Amino acid sequence: MLLKLGGMTTLEALAVSSGPAFTSRGPLSTRLLHAFEYELATEETAGLSETVEETVATCDDVLQDDDVQFSLFLLYGLSYGDVIPGGDAWEWHSGMIAARRVLENAFEGGLRNTVSLPQSRSAHADDVAATLFALTKPDSGPSLSRHFATKVTQLQATEFVVQRSIYTLKEADPHSWAIPRLTGRAKAALVEIQADEYGGGRPERMHSAIFAGTMRGLGLNTRYGAYVDHVPAITLASLNTMSLFGLQRRLRGALVGHLAAFEMTSSIPNRKYGDGFRRLGYGADVTRYFDEHVEADAVHEQIAARDLAGALAAEEPALLDDILFGASACLLVDGLMGQHMLDAWAAGRSSLRIPLPVPRAAERPAEEDVLAKGQSQNV
Amino acid sequence: MSKAAEPGSASGSADWPIPGASVGHSLDPIIIACQNGPLLVRGSVELRTAEGEVIPQLRATIALCRCGVSSIKPFCDGTHKLINFQT
Ligand code: FES
């Protein structure tokens, strides 16, 4: 039954009050968005499994396919807060779970076929830490952070924050799913990192909240999902990788490896991002997030490499391969996301599917200059 | 109900040791010298400058630079990796 509230569908009504109505990217996401408009009803998912199979069978590159990655984002979104308005009833719907399983199997297969794993076979904690440090060693190739330090424009810097917002407004959430699946030293280490991510008891210091401050400083909409329609498949793939690893106990090793690689490639780039925003004339309200991560992640990378990933490998040596797979998948997908931005900017294009409005005065950052779509719904 | 160490008690009993007790379970700070990296400090310490001014500490666990090149001394900023710092 389609609920109508004053002429609007439930989803439209909820979109106005609590979230955006997303735009579909192909036959599969069209079906999902259509089903989510309804109260739980099996007839709304008739034909879903055929569409999923067909979507997976005809997709060339699962990591970059808009319909696959957006559909996965929606299905995983059912397990987070704030993504699918009214999604509670759909979370454990068997048709939705079945669709998710087909998509995520294809996604996991795509990741496993694409990453190259380091050769280390030692599950000793110190060796695992050394392998991860070698894997994540800063290199001298072109990178997003180097672009930031030298020549990023105001519009590009704003696009970067929009791209990052898909994960960072939920920063740390997917990795928290590993907590009840770990024990001992690895569990204590993960909780130690997450407690810091979540502000050590002070909500205003939660990293997601500090990031929202950066968005506000740039005049962006901080409501979760406001920019989902803007970002390319690879940006959704970045969050989907964490959700894939986070929602399956089987993949706890990969989730831990992912977090380790994420933390180990954070401090040095974040200093460059902060410098880039300072060079553009922005103040501490915008740069605080990046500055905070220079110090925080220099701590987290030590804990993540040794006490988390190292200890987990020592305790469950069978997980070593997945720890290294998770770390490599993080580097692969986030590397592709960065490369997408660099390629688009080098070609003089926006890195977004729907570009942001061009600021009126590009050299003079001010809140009113960069207005986001949906600003009237800003919180 | 199973026997458990009392919160805050100084040590577990012989038949019920506190997991991880060998690395300390009191609130005394612990310093871990990370290989090729910083000194990781867990627990509450007061950091001061040479002039005696308290250096604000914003997190429960901190990393102190020991390679000398951090831009946020006394804290580590990860730059030791760029200079191949070896301990
Ligand atoms: S020890 Fe990390 S920057 Fe010096």
The reply to whether residue A301 touches residue B78, judged by beta carbons under 8 angstroms, is yes
User: Mind listing the pLDDT tens digit for each residue in A159-199?
Assistant: 999 999 999 999 999 999 999 999 999 999 999 999 999 99
Q: Please check whether residue A286 is in contact with residue A218, taking contact to mean a CB–CB distance below 8 angstroms.
A: yes
Tell me the pLDDT of chain B averaged across its residues: 79
Q: What is the pLDDT of residue B11?
A: 38
Q: Is the backbone peptide bond immediately before A85 cis, with ω within 30 degrees of 0?
A: no
Domain shared by A128 and A30, yes or no? no
Q: Please check whether residue A193 is in contact with residue A263, taking contact to mean a CB–CB distance below 8 angstroms.
A: yes
Domain shared by A136 and A64, yes or no? no
Domain shared by A75 and A207, yes or no? no
Q: Please check whether residue A67 is in contact with residue A27, taking contact to mean a CB–CB distance below 8 angstroms.
A: yes
| Å from CA of B78 to ligand 1 middle | 5
Of A113, A147, A164, which residue constitutes the final position of a domain?
A113
Closest to A242 in 3D by CA, of A198, A196, A177: A177
Interface test with A, best of B77, B85, B86 (most A CBs within 10 A): B77
Does residue A6 lie within any of the structural domains? no
Q: Please check whether residue A340 is in contact with residue A234, taking contact to mean a CB–CB distance below 8 angstroms.
A: yes
Residues with Cβ within 8 Å of residue A74, at least 6 apart in sequence: A22, A29, A32, A33, A36, A83, A84
Of A87, A113, A139, which residue constitutes the final position of a domain?
A113
The tokens for A95 are 């048709």
Domain shared by A126 and A16, yes or no? no
User: Mind listing the pLDDT tens digit for each residue in A17-69?
Assistant: 445 589 999 999 999 998 888 766 666 678 899 999 999 999 999 999 999 99
Domain shared by A254 and A150, yes or no? yes
Measured between beta carbons, the chain A residues lying within 8 angstroms of B42 are: 192
Overall domain count for chain A: 2
Does residue A2 lie within any of the structural domains? no
Considering only CB atoms, which residues of chain A are within 8 Å of chain B?
126, 129-130, 133, 137-138, 184-185, 188, 192, 195-196, 200, 205, 266-268, 271, 294-299, 301-303, 306
Domain shared by A78 and A144, yes or no? no
Q: What is the ipTM of this complex?
A: 0.83
The tokens for A29 are 């996401």
User: Mind listing the pLDDT tens digit for each residue in A276-330?
Assistant: 999 999 999 999 999 999 999 999 999 999 999 999 999 999 999 999 999 999 9
Nearest CA of chain A to the CA of B69: how many Å? 13
Domain shared by A108 and A125, yes or no? no
Does residue A365 lie within any of the structural domains? yes
Residues with Cβ within 8 Å of residue A101, at least 6 apart in sequence: none
Domain shared by A151 and A72, yes or no? no
The tokens for A145 are 């952070």
Is B59 an 8 Å CB contact of chain A? yes
**What CATH number did the domain enclosing A350 receive?**
1.20.910.10
Give CA–CA dist A113/A108, Å, rounded: 9
Measured between beta carbons, the chain A residues lying within 8 angstroms of B61 are: 192, 196, 299, 303
Q: Which domain holds residue A198?
A: 120-376
B/e letters for A75-84, b = 16+ CB within 10 Å, e = fewer, are bbbbbbeebb
* Pocket around ligand 1 at a 6 A CB cut-off: B 37-38, 65-67, 69-70, 76-80
Give CA–CA dist A303/B38, Å, rounded: 11
Does residue A129 lie within any of the structural domains? yes
